[in-house]
Amino acid sequence: MWNQQWLGVVGRTLCTALILSSLVLEAAMGAEFLKEVAQTHARIDWHQIGAPFGRLLLIRKGASTCAVRFSEFHRGNNVKPPTVFNSGHESHHAEYDWYWQADGSGDFRRPNVQSGHGKLFQKPLQGIGRVAFQTGRVYVRCGPFKLLWHYPVSVSFDDKGGCDGDITELAPTKWKETSEVDIRDSRIRWYRCDENRKSLLIPLDDL
């Protein structure tokens, strides 16, 4: 029992370290670079996937399939010096449209598809050290899915930013409208959370 608990702690610590490493990399890349890349490329990382801006990202698990398309994103340009209780990080905002098909067909042209619109905002962290927390709205929701958002247009495989116990798959596409989606198209490439996967950018024309 003790060994299982210890392994669980090690696993969570490793996952957190990997996510923090990814955030450091994003900061090094620069917000403007991320903005430009999001317009023309799909982003593939071990814990997050992003379709090019304005294109559909497919999500599936079991019989449920979702399609998410970001319609807006922008920076707050409001970085402040950190304090004891506030990280001072820049805020970020985004909006997205979602479509949920639950009958197992993956056909978004059927009348049983549910849809909606969501707004996201990421605020500076509040708190001290390990008890710092996010008070914004940082989860992309579509049907039963609740996935952590990464600015500008990427989402994780679960709500914690790591690999969930159930298998969620994500696939970036070049499609703009759900009427174009063909779940059987051989060009679709599904990704699962993989801590050994190296980061990759895929040009829009190669999707």
What pLDDT was estimated at residue 161?
A: 84
Domain boundaries of the chain, sorted by first residue: 31-206
Angle at which helix 31-40 crosses helix 2-29, to 10 degrees, equals 90
Tell me the pTM.
Answer: 0.80
The DSSP element (H or E) to which 164 belongs, if any, is: none
Q: Kindly report, residue by residue over 149-158, the tens digit of the pLDDT.
A: 999 999 999 9
What pLDDT was estimated at residue 110?
A: 96
Contact of 42 with 52, CB cutoff 8 Å: yes
Among residues 11, 19, 33, 1, the alpha carbon closest in space to that of 152 is found at 33
What pLDDT was estimated at residue 134?
A: 60
What pLDDT was estimated at residue 18?
A: 39
Which stretches of the chain score pLDDT less than 50?
A: 1-25, 27-28
What pLDDT was estimated at residue 86?
A: 57
**Cα–Cα distance, 9 to 73 (Å, whole number):** 35
